[in-house]
Structure 1
Amino acid sequence: MKKIIGLTLGIACLAATLSAQATTSAQLVVRGTITPAACNLSLAGSGIIDYGTIRSGELSRTSFNPREERTTSLVINCGATPARFGLTLTDLQAGSKVTGILGAGFSEAQNFGLGMVGGRRTGGYSVTLRDLRSSATVLHPIMRTGLGAWQNSDGKVAQSPSQYSWRNSVTITPASISQLTGTLAVKAVINRAQDLDLSRDVSIDGRATLVLSYI
């Protein structure tokens, strides 16, 4: 009997030892979420550039017809949190582009379409970034294509995948800022009158999407 009891006690002690070893480790989990700065992008007048009514008799039949430059204000506000960010513009009327309509000094990537009426292409327009500031600091436009190196820019905007940002020093890297103000200058060019269907109203219908992204 004593041997049996002794054996039973030995097993009980071994079980207690194993149980103690099973509770000598635990997992620590560290959780949280890091969110980007909450930035807001807005354009004055809902971003509408209105050329009003243009009489067909004003248009040259054989030459492109540049119109006056018009502007809208650009505002980006990130509150109190500085961030590095950039803009891309996507032409929603790219299929209506008129090749060469912007003239010298512009590439086709900087040519945004003005829509089509009756299968005829209405024209094109350019977009230029100007007067960029963060508080009292003057900013200078820079750009890159895709994930390429940043370069100085004259402000003329090419369509995505080109991306635009701004520097506040001689170093060509995006500045970390909390607010930005600037101007989008738009210049429309109407197609040759002989290439338009002037038997009906021809609407000017340029549309582009601006996307703010964090760098």
Structure 2
Amino acid sequence: MIKQYFAALSATALIGVAPYALAASSTDLTVTGAITPSACTPTLSGGGIVDHGKLSAKDLNQDKPTTLPWQTLQLTVSCDAATAFRLLPTDNRSGTSDDNNDFGLGFINGDRKLGGYVVRIRTPIADGVAVQSLSSATNGNTWFASPVVSPNQLSAFGAAGGPTTPIAIKDLLADLRVSTQIARADSLDLTNEVALDGSATITIAYP
């Protein structure tokens, strides 16, 4: 990229000394952003691992998805100072769930979707006070109350019973309830052992 950039500058300089008048011989590049004085660190209990152990293929539903027992992880977010942060979830197995709002479990046999899982926020506590979970499908322009953590949405937290506006928080404590579904067994080749391969990343984003 750097070599191309300097090549473009050289070409512009050569054109500039040509004897002909040219329109639009330059353009502007603007770089914006902000450095926040505080930082937030997220942590998940159990190393962020939901382990369903070994499942028998014969125990899966043949003609409908099989829902596994839900499990709960504890999410903590600790900030240097009160900050109106957002949670930005990324599905590292994007495109492997039948529902775009769920996180995927990976492919088996090349292109068969193994299933997916849903993540919901329960009992969020911010600085010792109960708060409500918020979601935004418009990159933070608008918010609505929802406990669902989706790879297509931002999550944040607002005052309980108050407006759906993210509030500044120093220390957050919440449960993440994870519900996993395996695709109907008659759509899968389960003659060999298959690993559930769900992976997601939750990043702290600042407004």
Normalising by structure 1, report the TM-score: 0.75
Aligned to 1:37: 38
Aligned to 1:148: 141
For the pair 1:135 / 2:106, whether they are aligned, the reply is no
Shift of 1:156: 1.3
User: Percent of aligned pairs with the same residue?
Assistant: 30
C-alpha distance in 1, partners of 2:79/2:177? Answer: 23
Give 2:178's aligned amino acid.
V
- Give the length in aligned residue pairs: 171
C-alpha distance in 2, partners of 1:198/1:84? Answer: 46
CA gap of 1:67–1:34, structure 2 versus 1, over 3 A, is: closer
SS of the counterpart of 1:89?
strand
> Of 100, 103, 108, which aligns to 1:117?
108
Question: 4+ residue runs of structure 1 moved beyond 4 angstroms?
Answer: none
SS of the counterpart of 1:94?
coil
For the pair 1:167 / 2:168, whether they are aligned, the reply is no
C-alpha distance in 2, partners of 1:92/1:78? Answer: 25
Shift of 1:180: 0.2
Normalized per residue, the structure richer in helix is 1
SS of the counterpart of 1:63?
coil
Aligned to 2:47: 46
Aligned to 2:59: 58
For the pair 1:201 / 2:193, whether they are aligned, the reply is yes
SS of the counterpart of 1:132?
strand
Give 2:92's aligned amino acid.
L
Give the gaps of 5 or more residues in structure 1.
1-32, 100-107
- Is this contact kept in 2: 1:36–1:214, CA < 8 A? no
CA gap of 1:34–1:147, structure 2 versus 1, over 3 A, is: closer
Shift of 1:35: 3.5
- Is this contact kept in 1: 2:135–2:148, CA < 8 A? no
Give the gaps of 5 or more residues in structure 2.
1-33
Aligned to 1:158: 150
SS of the counterpart of 1:139?
strand
C-alpha distance in 1, partners of 2:100/2:158? Answer: 23
Normalising by structure 2, report the TM-score: 0.78
Higher Cα Rg: structure 1 or 2?
Answer: 1
Aligned to 1:212: 204
C-alpha distance in 1, partners of 2:141/2:92? Answer: 24
C-alpha distance in 2, partners of 1:158/1:38? Answer: 23
CA gap of 1:34–1:114, structure 2 versus 1, over 3 A, is: closer
For the pair 1:190 / 2:182, whether they are aligned, the reply is yes
